Chains A and B, each alone.
Chain A
Amino acid sequence: MKKSVLSAMVVLLLLGVAAYAAFFVAPTDAKQGVIYRILYLHVASAWTGLTSFFICFIANSLYVLRRQPRWDWLGVSAGETGLVFTTVVLLTGPIWAHPVWGIWWTWDARLTSTFVLWLLYVSYLLLRTLVEEPDRRALLSALFGIFAFIDVPLVFGSIRWWRTQHPQPIIMGAPGAGLDPTMYRVLFFTWLAMLGLMTLLLRQRYRLEAMRGDLEIIQRELEAA
């Protein structure tokens, strides 16, 4: 069996077990009821998205320092993957907020900084479509990617530094804040499964970008011929 098929099957299995645990193992929240189960998708996607943006930041920094195409390929792949996870966060958040807060959306610090983060990485990907010359495109997008990452600590700190509609942190938060131990275990397992999905998507996306690099080389050879 091909290695990529095997790893996809392992990730699917992990995701299936995570979904089962989120619905049938984790206890129901006494205050919110069943709606809180969105937490396992919403929070795990948020953490995975931020992890992906961190990889993008590292790759962008390495591109600026070393100017090797592989760091550009990794940067754009991680940026796009992080954007997908953040899209899921922004879509599932309002579905959770509506029954709990009575509103779909509010411009508080956490929600606004997350939306700005999404916009920044959309711009990062759009910027790449505007520059044709590969080296210039890679350098400009790497610099923009480093700038975009500034918002990540803001997203992380927003519920710690300011009073927000969004709940206070369940990790590294105020004393007494947190989850039931079973909820923690299910949440960390779901995050692990999501990291598996991120790795799978990132690898596929990186392969696509590497092929695009090959195509550009062939096109240049054709133009020179």
Chain B
Amino acid sequence: MKNLNSVFAAYMIGWTVFFVYYISIARRTSVLREDIERLKNSLSRGK
């Protein structure tokens, strides 16, 4: 099957891009959640 490797390469690259993006959103969300908690705590301490 000629070019089968290219087809697999295209699909691997495509799915990797989607997966990395999904992970990046999850990471950014978790960092932001920690920041919000930290700020909420310092805000309640300040009141």
Q: Which of A53-61, A148-156, A200-208 contacts B (4 or more CB under 8 A)?
A: A200-208
Report whether B42 and A33 are in contact in the complex, using a CB–CB cutoff of 8 Å: no
Which of A19, A207, A215 touches B11 (beta carbons < 8 Å)? A19
Report whether A204 and B14 are in contact in the complex, using a CB–CB cutoff of 8 Å: no
Q: Which of A66-74, A85-93, A129-137 contacts B (4 or more CB under 8 A)?
A: A85-93
- Give complex CA distance A104, B20 in Å: 24
A: interface residue count bin: 20 to 34
Q: Which residue of B lies closest to A83 (CB)?
A: B21
| Given A95-B10, A201-B22; A222-B3 close (CB under 8 Å) | no
B: interface residue count bin: 20 to 34
Report whether A207 and B13 are in contact in the complex, using a CB–CB cutoff of 8 Å: no
Report whether B22 and A91 are in contact in the complex, using a CB–CB cutoff of 8 Å: no
Any chain B CB within 8 A of the CB of A160? no
Any chain B CB within 8 A of the CB of A163? no
Contact flags (1/0) for A184-225 with B, using CB distance below 8 Å?
A: 000000000000010001001101100110110011011001
Contact flags (1/0) for A93-133 with B, using CB distance below 8 Å?
A: 00110110000000000000000000000000000000000
Residues on A lying within 8 angstroms of B by beta carbon are: 19, 33-35, 37-38, 41-42, 45, 84, 87-88, 91-92, 95-96, 98-99, 197, 201, 204-205, 207-208, 211-212, 214-215, 218-219, 221-222, 225
Query: Nearest 7 CB-CB pairs, A to B?
Result: A35-B3, A92-B10, A95-B10, A38-B10, A88-B14, A218-B39, A84-B21
